[in-house]
Amino acid sequence: MNRRELLLAASTLPLVGLTGAASRAFAQGAPEVVIGVLYAMSGPSAQVGIDARHAFETAAEIINGSFDFDMPTAKAAGLAGLGGAKVRLVYADHQADPQKGRAEAERLITQDKVAALIGCYQSAVSSTVSAVAERYGVPFLCADSSSPSLQRKKLKFFFRPAAQDEMFSAAMFDFFDDQKKKGKKIDSVGLFYEDTIFGVDSSNVQRKLANERGYKIAADIKYKSNSPSLSAEVQQLKSADPDVLMPSTYTTDAILLVKTMAELGYKPKNLVAQASGFSEQVTFDAVGDKLVGAISRASFSLDLAAKRPFIGKVNEMYKARSSRDLNDNSSRELMGLVILADAIDRAKSTDGTKIRDALVATDIPGTRTIMPWARVHFNDEGQNPDASPVLLQYTGSKFVTIFPGDVAIAAPIWPMNG
């Protein structure tokens, strides 16, 4: 679907999650809460935006309807604190461009009068959007951007329920330490990262952790995002041959990396990725046969549905729209909107400062989410410190949880090509 078709589809879409009596209620002027959603709906990251839209529409269906799920806002139809008001989503296409994101955020705030913003996948875009939200006093819920620097600005209206890359990377090195104790050989790592905020921040964290925990950095390679060729970089990786390759890449680059490794005959002993491109179905559709045994950090594990059956039901709702299961990104997006709606519900207002105060007061047990998190609350940087990560391994047909032990359902295949 091209950009024109996407925008046309957006303009003709009905209000999400509304059927029957709810639609008639809107026709009669019932209240609504407008939330601005910023994602790339065109360009190389368009599929991420399309999947995000499915996730947000699923969340809006849960918020606006009535479901027997033990999740915030699920049981009451609409936001009880605002008289049953429904959530309406207004989408903006930032095209993965930080300056386009800035302009679209301003438009959503000044013209569409949104109560809050949610986005943006690319950390570089979330950086500019969060600055705009701060200037206008509008809450920004950072659903899935993982750069630690986003929270370092100490913005009052910035909130991130999911883990950031310091937390994700710590889980990776905890896993390495655990494997070494079990006799596995892991002496060196290879850092491979794109040159925007996401990749640079990720590599800074991983470099620090490798040095602190005694792992040799056999390769430390930064490449230009959306590069037409990665041959020179892959030759460097092949020569260094680290025990673990640790890529921090978006989808297009992840596919190119794997294809180039195959062309040049480089098979990493192990691959442990900072999710993003290595959590997207499109990557595994394209090169999944070359990624059996690859590991990705994650915020979500569908395996948890065995303990919390409503997770499976939410996944089926999402799958009915998208034809795929929830993943690391879409799960964070869905849960992020639910958490934001819960705060608006408790604020009993669409005033930015009141919503912000309600977000500050958030305290949700992890068992009331679809995530493996211990808890949802926010520190003074707007970060949830209890968003517990997991590690997933690709088996050739699906991902299975391998770490930490209390949620793992399978032992890791290590090395991945062994």
Task: Check residue 319 and give its pLDDT.
Answer: 97
The pTM of the full predicted model, rounded to 2 decimals, is 0.85
Containing 391, the helix (H) or strand (E) segment is strand 390-394
List pLDDT tens digits, range 97-123: 999 999 999 999 999 999 999 999 999
The secondary structure of residue 382, as a DSSP letter, is S
> What ranges in 191-246 are assigned the alpha helix state H?
197-213, 231-240
For residue 389, what pLDDT band results from cuts at 50, 70 and 90? very high
List pLDDT tens digits, range 223-276: 999 999 999 999 999 999 999 999 999 999 999 999 999 999 999 999 999 988
Say if CB 274 and CB 165 are below 8 A apart. Answer: yes
Q: What share of the chain is helix, strand, coil (3-state, %, to 5)?
A: 45, 15, 35
Task: Check residue 418 and give its pLDDT.
Answer: 58
Task: Check residue 4 and give its pLDDT.
Answer: 36
CA atoms within 13 A on the CB side of 293: 14
Q: Would you call 285 exposed, middle or buried from its count of C-beta atoms within 10 A (0-12, 13-18, 19+)?
A: exposed
Per DSSP, the three-state class of 118 is: strand
Task: Check residue 154 and give its pLDDT.
Answer: 87
Is the predicted pLDDT of residue 29 greater than 90, yes or no?
no
Say if CB 59 and CB 315 are below 8 A apart. Answer: no
| Residue range 10-27: mean pLDDT, rounded | 35
